A and B are shown apart, each in its own frame.
Chain A
Amino acid sequence: MNQKIIYYPKDGKPTVIANEWQVWDGERDEGGIPDLEHGFHKVLVPFHWWITHHKNADVAGRAGKGEIGVWFAADDDILKHPEIIEEGKSLWPVVGAHFPIFRDGRSFSTAALLRDRFEWQGEVRAIGDVIIDQLLQGARVGFDAFELRPDQNLEIALKQFDLFSVVTQNSWRDQRATIA
């Protein structure tokens, strides 16, 4: 995992901040959330794991304290679970959308749907194989936080967001430019 993330709120500037959320892959599931790495107490759990475990006392308790969010796999069809996602709006401070490999663009549509269809206001974080040259697209479709792959240079990453001063289609972050 990366100890730092880029946080880029919709109407703000991109900055590097400490990462407070550990992503749990759902492996080694012994019925509950495993011990987190030292210093971490907030966790993103797999969406499907949440569906089957969110009533567990341990999970519900921690969710009540704002310590649990979910992450969507690239092949999760979030439109099949609208009620759970609606409920999640008041439960999950952060949701993640996963890139199994940087060139798999499904999570771009997931982020777009969260913002556009569910009017998701909370943080949507890109996780997994996230590299510098996806940031611009990610920021436009709906991501406002990025946990980059640890080998990526954060200084170069921060420079990506203002490469283009014009866009020619609408997205979550900006309307297309038109000559008045």
Chain B
Amino acid sequence: MYKYDHIDQTLVDQRVTQFRDQVERRLNGTLAEEEFRPLRLQNGLYHQRHAYMLRVAIPYGLLSAKQLRTLAFIADKYDRGYGHFTTRQNIQFNWVELEQTPDILAELAKVEMHAIQTSGNCIRNITSDAFAGVAADEYVDPRPICELLRQWSTLHPEFAHLPRKFKFAINGAKEDRTVLLCHDVGIELQKNPSINHGELTANIYAGGGMGRTPILGSLIKQNVPWQVLPSYLTALLRVYNRFGRRDNIYKARIKILVKALGPEEFARQVEGEWAQLHNATKQGKDNFTQAEWERVAKHFTKPNYKILSVLSDEQLQSHAQSKLDANEKIAFTRWLERNVKPHQVPGYACVILSLKPHGTAAPGDATSAQMNAIADLADQYSFGELRVTHEQNLVLADVEQAELLNLWRAAKNYNLVLPNIGLLTDLIACPGGDFCSLANAKSLPIAKAIQERFDDLDYLHDLGDISLNISGCINSCGHHHVGNIGVLGVDKDGEEWYQITLGGDQGNDASIGKVIGPSFYANEIPDVMISIINTYVEQRSTDEPFIETYRRLGVIPFKEAAYKNNGKHSKGAAV
């Protein structure tokens, strides 16, 4: 993975010094809270319900074992012994003190980490495919571009006070695991022999987003050579900075601007700006150079893989037969099926460690003991590196197939091998009303209740792939819009209610879910889930996943089932 050079290290060290001074001015009263707020947000510091929360960037999802140990150390020393992995490749600490944040940031800087631009109206942490560089379906390894753009966007002076937050996602694989179209800018990388001399180019999507107005991004520019991304993105952001709405926070995202202008007109304005930035007299001084590419790309070479032969699932299982008892055999087989993914290199596999135990911890939470254990596992089995997924799980990306059983055993001790990846209980949830000041409703108890109600692994496996995403408010940090089943907490007359959406999806067929009707009380949600799932089970054809059944039948049978028994509780009007 990427290693900081002198430039990167100097920058994060100096950023800590800058923030230390700002915190001091805040504490001695010379800097007002209103003016401190954007500064702390751009250093990842939120003021939450109970305490300050610190959001630390894990750029494009890559972490080293050493960094993870530092996160565990921070959790113990400055927090309550755990951290929360988010849907956008960050980790959050929920109980930090303002006075201590400069020290925490200094600890992070020692291991090449920071919290720069993880919040605020600026370019946020750039996210990508958690399986970048190892995914079997990858066209282009996106990580060098992610890193070049991370550097380009870090402390960008012109875009430090945009109308609203601005999120990039970058994908280079056939399957989209980045929720590309739900980002302000989605960058799809490709190589085409007839374009840019066969070198990397990008298709640019803009104006996607979730929140109050979920919209999928529009393609606004094709085949942008990688070298000119800085000037093209400067043009795009400049148009947004100048013309994005600032009069209404709910209409300030780029999606509203793109929608108001229309994607064609927006693209035309960006093109006009870009022509000026990129004209001949400027000689492409903003372009990424080959030397810069090499400086970054050399860190993303393949690790020292062994020459191994591929093991089939049957071989893996029979290899394990003699070493496991009957229950373990079932568990291990299921784990191979759900939590182990194919790898580019023969004899290797990607392993997803589930941070979704049924009802015993919040989705995405990891204790410091787990973090230290995972760091050890990464050292032992996966070249000392790991990744964070959009679904709030962790990945050991380079595991020898022959070591899978040993890894499974070791990870089992830390409750990390629940074979539920991609299943209903592998749900995404924001911290919700338990922690977040924005939330209208709690997310975690809903997640817990659903996980407890669907605690039968046989049944879950039979149901197959279903994504369930839960947000505690319309800000949609739980990405409920793109869940096959989405749950959104809403506030009605001071009470917490939950609205259900169906038919959302991420990936290449990304779609926004539709609200099925009036919202439900919290205690009705597990029964509503059962009704929806039963409808699917009754109606599905062989091997048809939930989303396909929904698309074939439409909302009506699901809606009827959901309201059959619950209609008497729910309020008459959809929110």
User: CB within 8 Å of B: which residues of A?
Assistant: 77, 102-106, 108-109, 112-113, 116-117, 131-134, 136-138, 140-141, 153, 156, 163-171, 175-179
Interface pair A108/B241, CB less than 8 Å apart: yes
Interface pair B18/A163, CB less than 8 Å apart: yes
Query: 6 additional contacts, CB 8 Å, given A168-B155, A177-B7?
Result: A105-B161, A108-B241, A163-B17, A164-B11, A178-B292, A178-B295
Answer yes or no: B301 CB below 8 A from chain A CBs. no
* Other-chain residue from B10, B159, B277, B295 in contact with A105 (beta carbon distance below 8 A): B159
Interface pair B161/A104, CB less than 8 Å apart: yes
Interface of chain B: mostly helix, strand, loop or mixed: helix
Answer yes or no: B121 CB below 8 A from chain A CBs. yes
Cβ contacts under 8 Å, B285 to chain A: 170, 175
Measured CB to CB, the closest approach of chain B to A167, in angstroms, equals: 7
Alpha-carbon distance between A156 and B11 when the two chains are bound, in angstroms: 20
Cβ contacts under 8 Å, B159 to chain A: 105, 108
Given A131-B35, A133-B35, A177-B7, A105 and B156 contact (CB-CB distance below 8 Å): no
Measured CB to CB, the closest approach of chain A to B377, in angstroms, equals: 33
For B, the interface residue count at a CB cutoff of 8 angstroms equals 42
Answer yes or no: B14 CB below 8 A from chain A CBs. yes
Q: Tell me the nearest residue of chain B to A163, going by C-beta.
A: B18
Interface pair B7/A179, CB less than 8 Å apart: yes
Cβ contacts under 8 Å, B153 to chain A: 169
Interface string of B1-16 (1 = CB under 8 A from A): 0000111001100110
Cβ contacts under 8 Å, A131 to chain B: 35
Cβ contacts under 8 Å, B22 to chain A: 133
Interface pair B286/A137, CB less than 8 Å apart: no
Measured CB to CB, the closest approach of chain B to A165, in angstroms, equals: 6
Alpha-carbon distance between A72 and B18 when the two chains are bound, in angstroms: 30
Q: Tell me the nearest residue of chain A to B122, going by C-beta.
A: A105
Alpha-carbon distance between A170 and B295 when the two chains are bound, in angstroms: 18
* Other-chain residue from B5, B17, B157 in contact with A141 (beta carbon distance below 8 A): B157
Q: Tell me which residues from 271 to 313 in chain B have a Cβ below 8 Å from any Cβ of chain A.
A: 276-277, 285-286, 289, 291-292, 295
Interface pair B241/A105, CB less than 8 Å apart: yes
Alpha-carbon distance between A86 and B157 when the two chains are bound, in angstroms: 25
Answer yes or no: B132 CB below 8 A from chain A CBs. no
Cβ contacts under 8 Å, B277 to chain A: 116
Given A117-B276, A165-B10, A170-B285, A179 and B157 contact (CB-CB distance below 8 Å): no
Interface pair A140/B157, CB less than 8 Å apart: yes
Point out which of A105, A132, A175, A176 has the most chain B C-beta atoms below 10 A from its C-beta. A105
* Other-chain residue from A102, A117, A165 in contact with B35 (beta carbon distance below 8 A): A102
Instruction: Give the 6 A-B CB pairs with smallest separation, nearest first.
Output: A105-B161, A137-B157, A140-B157, A168-B151, A177-B7, A108-B158
Alpha-carbon distance between A116 and B273 when the two chains are bound, in angstroms: 11
Alpha-carbon distance between A163 and B14 when the two chains are bound, in angstroms: 7
Given A102-B35, A179-B7, A168 and B160 contact (CB-CB distance below 8 Å): no
Alpha-carbon distance between A170 and B153 when the two chains are bound, in angstroms: 11
Given A105-B161, A108-B161, A165 and B246 contact (CB-CB distance below 8 Å): no
Alpha-carbon distance between A167 and B154 when the two chains are bound, in angstroms: 9
Alpha-carbon distance between A118 and B554 when the two chains are bound, in angstroms: 56
Cβ contacts under 8 Å, A175 to chain B: 285
12 of the cross-chain contacts (CB-CB < 8 Å) are A105-B241, A106-B242, A106-B246, A112-B238, A163-B14, A164-B15, A169-B154, A169-B156, A176-B152, A178-B7, A178-B292, A179-B7
Interface of chain A: mostly helix, strand, loop or mixed: loop
Interface pair B157/A104, CB less than 8 Å apart: no
User: CB within 8 Å of A: which residues of B?
Assistant: 5-7, 10-11, 14-15, 17-18, 22, 25, 30-31, 35, 38-39, 121, 151-162, 230, 238, 241-242, 246, 276-277, 285-286, 289, 291-292, 295
Interface pair A105/B11, CB less than 8 Å apart: no
A-B contact count (CB 8 A): 99
Cβ contacts under 8 Å, B25 to chain A: 156
Alpha-carbon distance between A140 and B230 when the two chains are bound, in angstroms: 17
Q: Tell me the nearest residue of chain B to A164, going by C-beta.
A: B14
Given A102-B35, A103-B121, A109-B242, A168 and B157 contact (CB-CB distance below 8 Å): no
Q: Tell me the nearest residue of chain A to B36, going by C-beta.
A: A133
* Other-chain residue from A108, A164, A165, A169 in contact with B152 (beta carbon distance below 8 A): A169
Cβ contacts under 8 Å, B39 to chain A: 133
Alpha-carbon distance between A140 and B470 when the two chains are bound, in angstroms: 42
Alpha-carbon distance between A164 and B121 when the two chains are bound, in angstroms: 21
Interface pair A166/B17, CB less than 8 Å apart: no
Cβ contacts under 8 Å, B289 to chain A: 178
Measured CB to CB, the closest approach of chain A to B59, in angstroms, equals: 13
Interface pair B161/A167, CB less than 8 Å apart: no
Q: Tell me the nearest residue of chain A to B237, going by C-beta.
A: A109
Interface pair B295/A103, CB less than 8 Å apart: no
Q: Tell me the nearest residue of chain A to B154, going by C-beta.
A: A168
Q: Tell me the nearest residue of chain A to B160, going by C-beta.
A: A137
Alpha-carbon distance between A141 and B238 when the two chains are bound, in angstroms: 12
Q: Tell me the nearest residue of chain A to B286, going by C-beta.
A: A170
Alpha-carbon distance between A169 and B38 when the two chains are bound, in angstroms: 21
Q: Tell me the nearest residue of chain A to B121, going by C-beta.
A: A103
Interface pair A108/B157, CB less than 8 Å apart: yes
Alpha-carbon distance between A78 and B241 when the two chains are bound, in angstroms: 14
Point out which of B14, B157, B160, B241 has the most chain A C-beta atoms below 10 A from its C-beta. B157
Alpha-carbon distance between A2 and B31 when the two chains are bound, in angstroms: 19
Cβ contacts under 8 Å, B154 to chain A: 168-169
Measured CB to CB, the closest approach of chain B to A108, in angstroms, equals: 5
Measured CB to CB, the closest approach of chain A to B95, in angstroms, equals: 27
Measured CB to CB, the closest approach of chain A to B93, in angstroms, equals: 24
Alpha-carbon distance between A140 and B285 when the two chains are bound, in angstroms: 16
Alpha-carbon distance between A169 and B25 when the two chains are bound, in angstroms: 28
Given A109-B241, A163-B17, A168 and B158 contact (CB-CB distance below 8 Å): no
Q: Tell me the nearest residue of chain B to A136, going by C-beta.
A: B157
Q: Tell me the nearest residue of chain B to A77, going by C-beta.
A: B242
Cβ contacts under 8 Å, A167 to chain B: 155
Cβ contacts under 8 Å, A104 to chain B: 161, 246
